[in-house]
Amino acid sequence: MAPERPDPLGDMTPDEFRRHGRDLVDWIAAYLNQDDRYPVLSRSRPGEIRAQLPQGPPASGAPFDAIFADFERILLPGITHWNHPGFFAYFAISGSAPGVLAELLIGALNVQAMLWRTSPAATELEEVALGWLRQLLGLPPAFEGVIYDTASVASLHALAAAREAAVPDVRVEGLAGRDLPPCRVYASEQAHSSIDKAVMTLGLGQRALRRIAVDDKFRMRPDALRAAVAEDRAAGRKPVAVVATVGTTSTTSIDPVGHIADVCEAERIWLHVDAAYAGAAALVPETAGVMDGSARADSVVTNPHKWLFTPFDLSAFYSRRMDLVRAAFALTPDYLSTPEAGQVKNLMDTGVQLGRRFRALKLWAVLRYFGSAGLQARLAEHMRLARLFAEWVDASGQFERLAPVPLSVVCFRARPPGYADGAGGGNDDRLDELNARVLEKVNASGEVFLSHTRIDGRYALRLAVGHIRTRERHVARAWELLQAAATEPRRNSI
Ligand code: PLP
């Protein structure tokens, strides 16, 4: 049917929008409830999607039906389905249905919340929704919150505030050409690469990041931190910040934040807690202790887009020193000044970014729809599934676990008989190759998608449970596929 275009200079007509909108919502409802229609990991080859699209822009418009047909035919094969219950890679995430509906409203309103007056509800809802989440995390009211897109950006802002506190006039004078001691930031060997990127971006240089040794459970050793700070002070270097991780990326280990806070308080160093993945576990009574000690930090980040069913992207940043974040970034040109300044918060003051999406709406919708009890039940189930999978691994003569399972991620590898651990010798290389092959094979099934990491030099498979529709049968299927894949390559390789 030809599209109605009554106003050649206007937008899509309301009728047309209604029709496509309904079709789209129907499509999404079916999409979110199908497990087997698409392979989880895209089978697209490099360049394949691009080659199917015109290289130049279209001169004349096309009906939305045609656009959607291209989406289904060309683009969907190039999608890796993060919103699939067989997604076990990296940190499994969910764009839950209430969050998706909120995204639709966010798109419709198209709010740009740089200033309070550019949408008072966006600024004030952000405060309220982050206040709720703060309480769920067990952080005191002294922590003010702001939403960024990602944890990487949140940690960058935390370290910018720490730099602001540690280096006089850095905002105006910068770092170059000044008589300043080298700065140091401390994080464990297991901390996320976003911390490297933050120190690089802030002009401290990657060498400024000192990696602190971990214990046998991959947690930062406070004694090693204390020694590193003492050594740096003795050498005339300037400790600026410590980043503790609650839920490290490889193994989800949890740094002893309380002991690290002791060091930071004694040494007067900014403490930032990266709880990007594991902060959510604070909602579950059995794992509420994950945030122990974080109330003593200067700043904390957690990602509702990771394990709190909020569509990507939404990262919640909290600081008891938001004045320093503002000192680092607030800048109001005349064209952005408002009469209510002083009575309200303007989100543009809390960071690099001027424009802000109305992300708070989706966090609010998710928190309201599920309630803390609903969220807690779902997170607890993910942890149960991870423990169950770990039990299967432990009971198997073919696989072994490579790290504890404090939350919802299991690190393990295939080690069939005949592949004795060479403790770093040549045998480990063969095991690494075997496991890389197992991973490729399992992922090629299209039913599940797992990723890998390296633990103590060993190639490790990683199963992360975190999608809202993942059930025991999906985890069981992953286990079946893994067992089959681990048996076959061995025949070929010996
Ligand atoms: N911190 C940790 C511990 C992570 O695991 C990750 C990503 O997995 C990040 C930070 C970065 O998250 P984002 O993609 O929100 O920047």
The secondary structure of 78-103 as a DSSP string is: G---TTSTTB-SSS-----HHHHHHH
Q: Please report which confidence band the pLDDT of residue 126 belongs to, taking 50, 70 and 90 as the band edges.
A: very high
Q: Please report which confidence band the pLDDT of residue 428 belongs to, taking 50, 70 and 90 as the band edges.
A: confident
Q: Which of 364, 407, 387, 355 is nearest to 246 (CA)?
A: 407
In the chain, where the domains are located: 14-41+80-94+370-494, 112-357
Ligand 1 pocket, residues with Cβ under 6 angstroms: 91, 150-152, 192, 194, 245, 247-249, 274, 276-277, 303, 315
Of 209, 249, 300, 409, the residue with max ligand 1 atoms within 8 A of its CB, to mutate for a pocket test, comes to 249
The DSSP output letter for 38 is: S
CATH hierarchy code of domain 112-357: 3.40.640.10
* Ligand 1 atom nearest to CA at 152: 16
Q: State residue 429's pLDDT score.
A: 86
Q: What 3-state class would DSSP assign to 300? A: strand
- Percent helix, strand and coil across the chain, each to the nearest 5: 50, 15, 40
Percent of the chain with pLDDT strictly greater than 70: 96
CATH hierarchy code of domain 14-41+80-94+370-494: 3.90.1150.170
pLDDT of 424 above 80: no
* Distance of alpha carbon 440 from alpha carbon 461, whole angstroms: 11
Atom 14 (ligand 1) nearest CA:
150
Q: State residue 35's pLDDT score.
A: 83
pLDDT of 231 above 50: yes
Domains 14-41+80-94+370-494 and 112-357 share a fold: no
Q: Which of 411, 101, 134 is nearest to 291 (CA)?
A: 134
In the chain, the amino acid numbered 76 is L
**Tell me: the pLDDT tens digits for 56-95?**
999 999 999 999 999 999 999 999 999 999 999 999 999 9
Q: Please report which confidence band the pLDDT of residue 297 belongs to, taking 50, 70 and 90 as the band edges.
A: very high
* Ligand 1 atom nearest to CA at 247: 3
* Distance of alpha carbon 273 from alpha carbon 259, whole angstroms: 13
* Ligand 1 atom nearest to CA at 191: 3
* Distance of alpha carbon 409 from alpha carbon 462, whole angstroms: 7
Q: State residue 420's pLDDT score.
A: 67
Of 90, 91, 93, 152, the residue with max ligand 1 atoms within 8 A of its CB, to mutate for a pocket test, comes to 152
pLDDT of 149 above 90: yes
Q: State residue 191's pLDDT score.
A: 98
Q: Please report which confidence band the pLDDT of residue 102 belongs to, taking 50, 70 and 90 as the band edges.
A: very high
